[in-house]
Structure 1
Amino acid sequence: MTENAMALPTPHPELKRLDRFAGTWSMAGDLVGADGENIKGQATFRWLPGGFFLEQHITLDFLGMTIDSLEIVGYDEQRGTFASTVYSNMSPQPLPYTWQVDGENLTITVSYGPLDATFRGAFRDDGTFSGGWRANPGADETVNIDYDLSGQRLA
């Protein structure tokens, strides 16, 4: 490298914890207490050029309603968490989420306006995952609907 060459930044090593998400996943689930599967869809994760951000594009049939969203996840070094922003056909505002990845466990939280819920899930030995979204204590349960979701890698 020459004296005048600029050193390019490199992704934070913690981002490697998100590598297991890369690929396409089939998603299925149900509302807590429902009789049968009523949530189906697909999620695709890919690293954006440079490796600083993981993109998730998800489409779900959620009780007959189509949810289509784009999420960008990056690492917040000051907080030691993964911060994300979700752009969805269900909200006119981008939504801030926080991810925590601890070994096999994943926790995602959102607390913005009436949205106040947490996803807790885990990867299994076979590479699949499962978990559930739950309204946080005191949250409006008509907005923050409890449901379970599982995923299996397609590609």
Structure 2
Amino acid sequence: MIAVDTYEWLPGGYFLIHHVDGHMGKDEVKAIEIIGYDASSQNYTTHSYDNQGNFSAYQANLLDRAWTILGKSERFTGMFSEDSNTLTGSWELSNDGKNWVQWMDIKLTKVI
């Protein structure tokens, strides 16, 4: 997968908008994700929508520099660099929510 991920704050600063524009093999991948923070659970909630009509909801957590995301059939574990400019991690998939297989490794680098 080759993609450009763009993040921007929704006016007010409560929600982060994540745009994905890329290709996975020959398939075009376009998605938008809305990330919010739930202070009562101290977790992030995310909702993602893509150009194939897929919708996903996730729970995410940031502990020190470790970023984890858990969905019904996808999960991610990653680590931010010390300067917070790079996120490196791995996505896994599951058909049953119990047995997980490697899906893809990612590296996101902040470009200003």
Class of the TM-score when normalised by the shorter of the 2 chains? 0.7 to 0.9
TM-score, with normalisation over the residues of structure 2? 0.85
User: Offset of 1:86 from its aligned partner?
Assistant: 0.7
Deviations 1:8-49 (A, max 9, x none): xxxxxxxxxxxxxxxxxxxxxxxxxxxxxxx11101111111
Say whether residues 1:117 and 2:74 are aligned partners.
Answer: yes
Instruction: Tell me the equivalent position of 2:33.
Output: 71
User: Offset of 1:129 from its aligned partner?
Assistant: 1.7
Whether the aligned pair in 1 keeps the contact of 2:17 and 2:35 (CA below 8 Å) is yes
TM-score, with normalisation over the residues of structure 1? 0.63
Alignment of 1:121-136 (within 5 A): 121-125=78-82, 127-136=85-94
**SS class of match (1:154):** coil
User: Offset of 1:84 from its aligned partner?
Assistant: 1.2
Q: 1:137 to 1:105 in 2, by over 3 A?
A: farther
1:50 is matched with which residue: 12, 25, 39?
12
Rg (Cα) greater in structure: 1
**SS class of match (2:47):** strand
User: Offset of 1:99 from its aligned partner?
Assistant: 1.3
User: Offset of 1:71 from its aligned partner?
Assistant: 0.6
In 2, Cα distance between equivalents of 1:46 and 1:147: 24
Amino acid paired to 2:58: Y
2:64 is matched with which residue: 86, 97, 103?
103
Instruction: Tell me the equivalent position of 2:21.
Output: 59
Root-mean-square deviation (Å): 2.3
User: Offset of 1:145 from its aligned partner?
Assistant: 6.2
Listed as ranges, the gaps of 5+ residues in structure 1 are: 1-38
Between Structure 1 and Structure 2, which shows a larger proportion of strand residues?
2
Q: 1:100 to 1:146 in 2, by over 3 A?
A: same
In 2, Cα distance between equivalents of 1:90 and 1:105: 30
Residue identity over aligned pairs, in percent, reads 25
Whether the aligned pair in 1 keeps the contact of 2:45 and 2:60 (CA below 8 Å) is yes
